[in-house]
Structure formats: structure tokens, C-alpha cells
Chain A
Amino acid sequence: MSAALQMTGVHADLGGRPVLHDVDLRVDAGEFVGLLGPNGAGKTTLMRAALGLIPLKAGTVTIAGAGPGYVPQRHEFTWDFPATVESAVLSGLVWRIGLFRRPKVAHWQAVWHALDQVNLTDLRKRPVGELSGGQRQRVLVARALVLSPPVLLLDEPFTGLDMPAQETLAELFTTIAAERAVVMATHDLTAAAYTCDRLVLLNRTVVADGPAADLRDPAIWMRTFDVGPGSHLLKALALPVGG
């Protein structure tokens, strides 16, 4: 079976500074992958490279089907815009509808189906400005799902959300990952270790890649996050400190 997302030997720069160095990553349908690393490790850059938003210096990116669905950080979206939930989701179809054309019934059906998947059907007529943080995050997920992408890229979906909202979202992502590939960049290491099938530790390049249970060596976490053996990070992950 071909991969949903395959990155091979990817090098990429940001403002003349090398950010990604020889990144190899393969994600298959049915996998929920957590992308972990400190600020500046290149998590967002990796996603933007997968989306074709930045040129690669070297390497290749292959994506199955229609291209990835992207869920950017929540602050990228103009929430005070006078748009309803369903029209915000419809904006994900702008390219598919085509230049100078209006949405057809099939497009609205795709929107409603996506809203159904994220449990926002009841709120579809509500202005986006009146939504809570967790609801906003689900609008962005629906907007990405409306294209039925084989891969979903989530950029720090948990940031700024309270606990029940985070858990509801994590469940949603797990459900979505049953039939698609999901890659989630996050700083919530414990949640990622608990919910993701696989963790990818990134710092300019892939430091480690595997199920959380296989990443018990504290050295790889210390190397990824540039922390010492006394760091509470290692304790929070219940790694064998000093071992």
C-alpha cells in the first residue's frame, strides 16, 4: 500500500536559515502521528513543506489523492469576520467550486457532512465570532475535512483550550484517524503520548520515530528538547531518569 504522506530527504530553509535537515517521514492511512519538538524545531515548517507552501531545497514530498487537509493554529483565522459556521467551512471548497462559480448542492452536502463529523451540525448557522475555543478548533477541522483529504495536518490544536475541550478534540482526532492519516504538531507531550499511535520527535531532523512505548530512552528526549537529565519533562513522561 502506498503511503498517505511520504517525505524523503527533505531540506527546507526559512528566511535563509536552514530549518529542516534531511527529514524522512512516512505516514499511512489509519495512523495518528504526534509531531513533537521544541519551538523552532521545524514542526510548522514541516507542515508547510507538506502543503507546498514553501519551496524545498532538496528532497520530495508525495501525498496520496487530492492533497492534505490543513488545520492551522487558531489565530490564523479571522474570527471577527461576519461568517456563519457553515460558510466558514464552505471556504475550504473555494478552489474546488472554481473561479466565477457559485456553490452547488453537492458542495453544501460536503459541508454538512464535515460538520456532522465534528459534531457542529446544531451550530451551523451561528456566527463564528460567537464560538468557544474548542468549537472554533472544530470549525477549522471541518473546513479541512470538507475536501476529504487522505492526510490531515493539525498545527497545535490544543493550545489555549481547557481540559474537557482538549479531550473531546483528542477523541475526534482518533475517530478521524481510523480512516485517514493524521499528523498533529503539539506541545502537549503527555496527551500525545497517550492518544497518538506513533510519535515523531523533531528537531531540525527526525530524532526518533515510533510508538510511545518504544521511546523510553531518556537520551532521545533530552536530545530533542535540549534539556538535562533533571528535567521535569522526563519525570512527567515517567521515563527512567538517570537510567
Chain B
Amino acid sequence: MSPLQFLADLTNPDLAFLPRALTIAVLAATMCGVVGCYVVLRGMAFIGDAVAHAVFPGLAVAFLFSGSLVVGGTVAGIVTALLVSVFAQNRRLKEDSVIGIFFVAAFALGIVVISRAPGYAGSLQQFLFGSITGIPDRDLYVVGGTTIAVLLAAFLLHKEFVAVTLDREMARALGLRTFWLDLLLYVLVTLAVVMAVQTIGNILVLALLVTPAATARLLTDRLAVMMILAPAIGAGGTVIGLYLSWSWDLPVGGTIVLTLTGAFLLAQLAAPRHGLVARLAS
């Protein structure tokens, strides 16, 4: 299918779900790209994965009681992040073990909950792997509002997040409340993940968080540039991925993730100064 045909489909009133899904996916990818920069630079990809899985029981409960998926997912993500923060205080266990326990537990809880819902298999697959149909109109406003809130929070607290990432102990000595900054960062990750879950799916959403930011990191040594590149790569990859999925009738989440992975591999090869090609040439 040519890109023109795709544009025609996007503006076709009978296919109204398509531009809606595209808008939501692009906004979610933008949020994930910005928040993902902190995730990648702090080396907390595993926490990102944990939060992504941890929102699942919240989505399942919301689905079961026809509540708001956004609210359900956010609450579940934050509760899990809190549990991890509290249990990680026990010095006999490393934080990654605690994360490993709670994210799988949350996921298991989600599966048990959703098994009580009618049409179990179909809704499970939709949650895990994403879908572009069945997104209600009001979600557009929720995702739009959340995007503005997340980007604003990242913009306003940027230097604090950077200071904590650079040197935690020093940030504390300077008077920053590191516990609250960490928790707020988890909340931002959770919000970005929940917004992305519907289209791209619970399991694949980690790619939106990590891959564009990691790709951007390969392309630049400047944080400001990285934080513009990452959401741009995420949004661009989402548009191309959705186009490919629509033309060839492929699952949308998988196609978007593979497109982003392609961009990452390309950057690995062709990045200025540190890419494979640049290194071989020098």
C-alpha cells in the first residue's frame, strides 16, 4: 500500500478508529521518549519493564468493572513502585530481586483477575499485544491531557532529575528530596506506559520507553539533543510502524517495535563518532 493510500484511509470517516489510534500512539511514544531518556540514563530499564507489567492488574480490574483503564493502570503501577521502594530498604536483598518478585506477582494477579472476565482470551490478547480498534473517543482527551502533564513535569523538574541521576548522594547533601523525586519519576513512567498500553500492548511497551532513548543516546553526547531526538524517533517509528502494520495486515505493536529496533540498529551502525562505520573508517 502506498503512503498516499494510507493518508486516504486516515481521512476516511468509516475508518475513524485509525487516526484516533495513530494520534494516541504518537502522543504515547512522545511521552515515552522523553521519560525514557531518564530511564535509560539511570539504568532503570528493568524498573520500566516492571512498571509496564505492574499496570496489568489495574487494567484487568478496570476492564472487569468497566472503569477507566487509565486510572486502574496508574494506581496499580504506583502501588507496585511503592512496594518495591519499601521492600528494597531491606539490605539483604538487592533491588532487582525485589522488582523481579513484584512485577511478576502483579502480572500474575492481572491474569487471575482477567480470567474472571467474559471473553477472557480475546481481551487478554488485546492487553498483551495491543490493538488499534475499540479505543473510545474520550481516551483522546485523556491521553492528550496526560501528555501535556508528563511533558510539563519533565520540563519543570529536569535539572532535579539530572542532579539525582548524576550523583545521588550529592543531590541529597544539597537538599533534594531524592525519595520523592524517584517516586515522581516512577509515576511519570507509569503514566507514559499506561497511555501506550492500549495500542502497543503490555509486553511490548518497554520498547517505546527504552529503544528510542537508547537510539538517541547513540546519536548524541548532548542531553538536550537526546531529549528532542528520543520522542521524535519514537513518534516517527510509531507512524511508520502503524503504516506497515496497516498495509500488510500485521499486528500493530509488533510492527512498531520492530521498526524502532531497526532504527536502533541503524544508529548502532551509522552514528557519528561512535558508530561502527565511523569507527572502522577512522
Which A residues form the contact surface with B (CB < 8 A)? 15, 51-53, 70, 72, 76-78, 81-84, 87-88, 91-92, 94-95, 97, 99-100, 102-103, 127, 129, 143
A-B contact pairs, 8 of them (CB 8 A): A53-B172, A72-B169, A82-B217, A82-B222, A82-B226, A83-B162, A91-B162, A94-B171
Is B1 close to A, CB under 8 A?
no
Add 7 more A-B contacts to A52-B173, A82-B217, A94-B160 (CB < 8 A). A53-B173, A72-B167, A77-B166, A78-B167, A81-B223, A82-B222, A91-B166
Q: How far is the CB of A99 from chain B (nearest CB, A)?
A: 7
Complex interface: chain B residues within 8 A of A129 (CB): 221
Complex interface: chain A residues within 8 A of B138 (CB): none
> Binding site of B, secondary structure by majority: helix, strand, loop or mixed?
helix
Complex interface: chain A residues within 8 A of B172 (CB): 53
Nearest A residue to B226 by beta-carbon distance?
A82
Complex interface: chain A residues within 8 A of B157 (CB): 99-100
> Bound complex: CA of A169 vs CA of B162, how far in Å?
27
Q: Is the CB of B220 within 8 A of A82?
A: yes
Tell me the number of A-to-B contacts counted with CB atoms below 8 Å.
Answer: 70
Is B163 close to A, CB under 8 A?
yes
Complex interface: chain A residues within 8 A of B222 (CB): 82, 84, 127
Q: Is the CB of B41 within 8 A of A81?
A: yes
Contacts A53-B173, A82-B221 given; indicate if A97 touches B166 (C-beta within 8 A): no
User: In the complex, which of the residues A76, A82, A95 contacts B175, with contact meaning CB atoms closer than 8 Å?
Assistant: A95
Nearest A residue to B222 by beta-carbon distance?
A82
Is B184 close to A, CB under 8 A?
no
Q: How far is the CB of A46 from chain B (nearest CB, A)?
A: 14
Q: How far is the CB of A157 from chain B (nearest CB, A)?
A: 15
Give the top 7 A-B pairs by smallest Cβ distance, nearest first: A94-B163, A127-B221, A95-B174, A51-B173, A91-B163, A95-B175, A82-B223
Nearest B residue to A94 by beta-carbon distance?
B163
Q: Is the CB of A83 within 8 A of B174?
A: no
> Bound complex: CA of A76 vs CA of B172, how far in Å?
13
Q: How far is the CB of A93 from chain B (nearest CB, A)?
A: 9
Complex interface: chain B residues within 8 A of A52 (CB): 173
> Bound complex: CA of A72 vs CA of B166, how far in Å?
12
Contacts A99-B160, A127-B221, A129-B221 given; indicate if A81 touches B173 (C-beta within 8 A): no
Which positions 104-161 of chain B face chain A at CB distance < 8 Å?
156-157, 159-160
Q: Is the CB of B166 within 8 A of A81?
A: yes
> Bound complex: CA of A143 vs CA of B157, how far in Å?
20
Complex interface: chain B residues within 8 A of A94 (CB): 159-160, 162-163, 171, 174, 176
> Bound complex: CA of A127 vs CA of B175, how far in Å?
26
Contacts A70-B170, A77-B167 given; indicate if A83 touches B223 (C-beta within 8 A): yes
